[in-house]
Structure 1
């Protein structure tokens, strides 16, 4: 089973990331444009289609929301305790916390889910919902924590950033149209379907191009501590919460796998934007993504046994 998961799920992901790395080296891709295409078209389209075609009941949607709230709450508590023990300054504490809370559930998590569950709409809906929650967290808490609550105009900036995000709108509209069972005209559904189908390839090529811009440095202990918590402790917490909530089957498996994503590129983007520990943030993204080839293989295997 492990060999099958490695060959059929994990290696295809990293082959596409590798193509992104090669193309970045060869052509110096416009990462700004790639990020905008992903953020404003492909990802919202994938989220919308996942919700529109969702098999989730309102009860399951509530359970996923509860899972995520508990999961983030426990990770925040752990990061606070570690930051206190390590005597981090305010800026480092924010960067460290973001490295645990802001994972790559979008341009990495959605493709992993798609391959692991062979496009199952229930699993895809769970991952899309997690990714939507993650986007909300990034542009609310992520911005606030890294900028500092006393910064002038901070809350206005966070609210404006939130309102500009297309993913929440795609999520709500997808759920609403699904609940009302309204058919989509072909001239709308087909472009969305094309974008949804391109999501895996485009998202992973973009991820490869993004992570290669960061030089690999292996000397920071705090980076390894963050990666250890992100790749091993976070999924252990996810498993415990799934068991606590009594979830079973594909939703449980999808949540367990979603809890094991590497550090999100957004944590590094925020660190660069506000010049708050950008080297630390970049290293956690790069090293956790590389090591995830091992941990996600084991986690997918474990999820199938547990749930």
Structure 2
């Protein structure tokens, strides 16, 4: 119990303090969240991914293992989400938002700080987390947008949105420059690091600001079922996949902890932008983020025992 309290104090409490600060600032000043979101998507996240991938040495086999894990994990969560939606006879729009809440987890403005604090900046752990973050962003703003838009504008137009995301290009450029050992001039590398260092703080503040705009209710709804799957069932699915793939050590710990993150705020963002049950999406983000203060601590504790 003392170790779990230590994890809560040293890992999650600093994160929730930043989220609370963002919450308070938004209530007082009504920040322009659309501008903050654009800065995060088009500047801070790509910059963070570029810097982390460029300066980290990792084997290409590591990337392939994580991509394989990620694909299997997404397929299983998709099947569970769709299965529940069919069983409950949920309409397609609502089913898409609910299923997205399972597949899109907060690996960026929540997962990265957790990883940084748990593993104390270990480069291998952060490399794994950055790969997961990159895959999540690519997947969210490709399939996620596609799944919602295809309900309204058709699959072809929805597919074109995939190529507008800078995260993919930042990832590819960093990998190419890393493996080719191409030096980056100091006048470019210095501002790139400024951007990367700002990502976590800005992301947490924005998460708090976004949560402050959510109209939530604690009345029982099907949201709780999906939140339970995201926070409890999700990590155990990841554990099974990790064991099947025979992963261990820091890589296994990182993937296990990453799988326990709450629903991504971006799932609410795209639901709002494309008017697909935005209130439901916001409720899922809020509930999962709130309850993760308990579940993530337990998962971190278990990761130290099992791996």
TM class, shorter-length: over 0.9
CA–CA distance in 1 between the matches of 2:305 and 2:274? 43
- For 2:250 and 2:57, the matched residues in 1 are separated by 11
**Conserved in 1, the CA contact under 8 Å of 2:256 and 2:303?**
yes
The answer to whether the aligner puts 1:29 opposite 2:31 as a matched pair is: yes
Q: Give the match for residue 155 of structure 1.
A: 156
Cα distance in 1, alignment partners of residues 204 and 102 from structure 2 = 21
Equivalent residue, structure 2, for 1:144: 146
1:180-214 alpha-carbon deviations (Å, 9 max, x no partner): 12221111111111122222211100110011100
Q: Where do 1:87-236 residues align within 5 Å?
A: 87-148=89-150, 151-159=152-160, 161-236=161-236
After superposition, residues 230-269 of structure 1 pair within 5 angstroms as 230-269=230-269
2:65 is the counterpart of 1:56: no
**Do the aligned partners of 2:215 and 2:279 also contact (CA within 8 Å) in 1?**
no
CA contact (8 A) 1:53 1:121 kept: no
Q: CA deviation at 1:50?
A: 1.4
Looking at structure 2, the residues matched to 115 and 155 of structure 1 have their Cα atoms a distance apart, in angstroms, of 42
3-state SS of 1:107 partner: coil
Whole-angstrom distance in 2 between the partners of 1:300 and 1:238: 14
Alpha-carbon shift at residue 155 of structure 1 (Å): 2.2
Counterpart of 1:8 in 2: which secondary structure? helix
Do the aligned partners of 1:139 and 1:158 also contact (CA within 8 Å) in 2? no
SS at match of 1:221: coil
Q: Deviations over 1:111-140 (max 9, x none)?
A: 211121111111111111111111121122
TM-score w.r.t. the length of structure 2 is 0.96
Give, in whole Å, the separation in 1 of the partners of 2:182 and 2:301.
Answer: 38
- Quote the Cα distance in structure 1 between the aligned partners of 2:138 and 2:39: 19
Runs ≥4 residues deviating over 2 A: 151-158
* Counterparts in 2 of 1:108 and 1:155: CA distance versus 1, 3 Å: farther
Shift in CA distance, 22/14, structure 1 to aligned 2, threshold 3 Å: same
Deviation at 1:219, TM superposition (A): 2.1
SS at match of 1:93: helix
In angstroms, what is the RMSD of aligned CA positions? 1.3
How far, CA to CA, are the matches of 1:62 and 1:305 in structure 2? 26
Is residue 129–residue 258 contact of structure 2 (8 Å, CA) maintained in 1? Answer: yes
Displacement after TM superposition at 1:290 (Å): 0.6
**How many positions carry a matched residue from both structures?**
305
Q: What residue number does 2:286 align with?
A: 286
| Alpha-carbon offset, residue 273 of structure 1 | 1.8
Q: Distance in 2 between matches of 1:216 and 1:75?
A: 25
| Unaligned segments of structure 1, at least 5 residues | none
The match for 2:40 among 22, 38, 44 is 38
Deviation of 1:274 (Å)? 2.0
The two structures have a TM-score, normalised by structure 1, of 0.96
- The 8 Å contact of residues 2 and 301 in structure 1, kept in 2 or not, is answered as yes
Kept in 2: contact 1:111–1:199 (CA 8 A): no
1:85 corresponds, among 84, 87, 99, to 87
Matched, 1:300 2:306: no
Give the CA deviation at 1:148: 3.4
Deviates more, 1:184-193 or 1:49-58: 49-58
CA drift at 1:153:
4.8
